[in-house]
Amino acid sequence: MKERLYPRASITPKGEKALRGGHPWVYADEVTSLSAIPQDGTPVDVFSSKDKYLGTGFYNSHSKIRIRILSRNANDTFDAAYWERRLRYAVAYRRTVMGETDFRCCRLIFGEADGFPGLTVDRFENVLVAQVLSLGTELIRDTLFSSLVTLLREEFGAVIDTLYLRNDVAIRELEGMESYTGFYTTEGLELRSETDERAASAADGRDFGTTAITENGIQYTVDYVNGQKTGFFLDQKYNRRAIRQISEGKTVLDCFTHTGSFGLNAAAGGAKRVVSVDISADALATAQKNADANGLSDIIEYVEADVFDYLKTLSETGRKGCPFDFIILDPPAFTKSRDTLRNAIKGYREINATAMRLLPRGGYLATCSCSHFMTDTYFKQMLHNAAEDAGVSLRQIEARQQGPDHPILWNVPETDYLSFYIFQIV
């Protein structure tokens, strides 16, 4: 092993076991000693209690995740060439697994799953939307963004003219960073500033901070400035496509529709009628625009309502009075911590049992969870219990997860967060 450049952090046997198992985090209570006080956001070498090298990672004294592992190779040097190589791996992987068309709108960087702690980058055609949630990555963001935009242009033929930062997330404060949003510009990359974007959007006749994309043949307007997270949920791309064939000839209830994606796919798949429900008037306004743009307004009705209340009211008519033979449940994450998991399970069970009661025998249900705390094991057990509550049996058609642009590392449970099932009610 070459002479080390970084301070040494010794960790507990518990922390060592996690690292040797492949997990990329060292928690604060697992660090036993430091050879020197590192500058927050800079690399430290991690050693076991028996002085064995385990890896190198970003250190942050503000965070419960004290060290985020970058590499387990003692010969790695974290210079611009290293980061360019890691970016090339990540982008080439997306180009391979997504294909030429879907590569135009996909997640290019998925944090630790790609070796970039706390970094998310989504591509929407010529727009990149990034979120930086770790201090170490924040300190090298100029190197990463310059290299990524150049790489996309020169090696993959993707001309990027906008890079927007959605760093409006509370977790940044836990990392000792401020929250903010804004257009990223730097000399030599020809990226739009806010002024440039306002002029371009006015010239194009579109709303400021929006861009048009096509997914599964459906056109969408993505609001990357004001929309949720990065503006569009790319992880359900292939799950949305999976419900199309089932939708043909059906009357579909699309719950928690947000900007309408599942309902639009159902309508495009030949549904007789779609009712899409969401509590957000702004989201429904965007969904209506999407329906208009795709010529599907005559098929889809948008309802502003709390889905729990809507399903409860619908259940009062009983199964015979329910007009739907296909229900789609795509709720937001009901839990973001283990402390609220029990209540989340109750919520999932309630909406799923109600949907199962409403559907006729032979009807169809698509249902999902997008929280890694709600593991697939918990979710499947909840579905068993909901089916028992509803007095039905479930015939599984498909079990799915997030798209491959959101890769799952088997030794990092946090990367495995989306469960998606399609059933027939029997």
Q: Indicate whether 259 and 344 sit together in one domain.
A: yes
CATH number for the domain that contains residue 15: 2.30.130.10
Domain presence at residue 2 = no
- CA dihedral angle for residue 174, residue 180, residue 186, residue 190, rounded to 10 degrees: 130
Q: Which of 53, 71, 89 finishes a domain?
A: 71
Q: Indicate whether 65 and 128 sit together in one domain.
A: no
Q: Which of 71, 98, 119 finishes a domain?
A: 71
| Owning domain of residue 203 | 80-209
Domain presence at residue 396 = yes
How many domains is the chain built from?
3
pLDDT value for 168: 94
Domain presence at residue 402 = yes
Q: Indicate whether 262 and 359 sit together in one domain.
A: yes
Q: Indicate whether 61 and 88 sit together in one domain.
A: no
Domain presence at residue 15 = yes
pLDDT band at 409, cuts 50/70/90?
very high
pLDDT exceeds cutoff 70 at 3: no
CATH number for the domain that contains residue 89: 3.30.750.80
User: 165 or 316: whose pLDDT is higher?
Assistant: 165
Q: Indicate whether 256 and 334 sit together in one domain.
A: yes
Read off the tokens for 160.
């990027």
Cα separation, 125 vs 138, whole angstroms: 24
Read off the tokens for 64.
């419960």
Q: Indicate whether 66 and 93 sit together in one domain.
A: no
The mean pLDDT value for 198-212 works out to 95
Q: How many CB atoms lie within 10 A of CB 224?
A: 21
- Cα 186-188-194 angle, rounded to 5 deg: 45
pLDDT tens digits for range 271-296 = 999 999 999 999 999 999 999 999 99
Q: Indicate whether 160 and 139 sit together in one domain.
A: yes
Domain presence at residue 219 = no
Q: Indicate whether 120 and 63 sit together in one domain.
A: no
Q: Indicate whether 138 and 248 sit together in one domain.
A: no
**H-state helical runs in 279-414:** 281-293, 307-315, 341-358, 376-390
Mean pLDDT score across all residues of the chain: 95
Domain presence at residue 218 = no
pLDDT exceeds cutoff 80 at 319: no
Displacement of CA 57 from its chain's centroid (Å): 24
Beta strand 43-47 with 53-59 is antiparallel
CB 132 within 8 A of CB 143: no
CB 307 within 8 A of CB 256: yes
**Least confident range of 68-82, 96-110, 334-348:** 334-348
pLDDT value for 1: 54
Q: Indicate whether 144 and 205 sit together in one domain.
A: yes
CATH number for the domain that contains residue 331: 3.40.50.150
Q: Which of 244, 218, 220, 248 is nearest to 232 (CA)?
A: 220
pLDDT exceeds cutoff 60 at 329: yes
Domain presence at residue 222 = no
pTM equals 0.94
Domain presence at residue 225 = no
Q: Indicate whether 191 and 96 sit together in one domain.
A: yes
Q: Which of 110, 121, 9 is nearest to 56 (CA)?
A: 9
pLDDT exceeds cutoff 70 at 2: no
Q: Which of 54, 71, 88 finishes a domain?
A: 71
Which residue reads 């440039």 in tokens? Answer: 196
Q: Indicate whether 62 and 86 sit together in one domain.
A: no
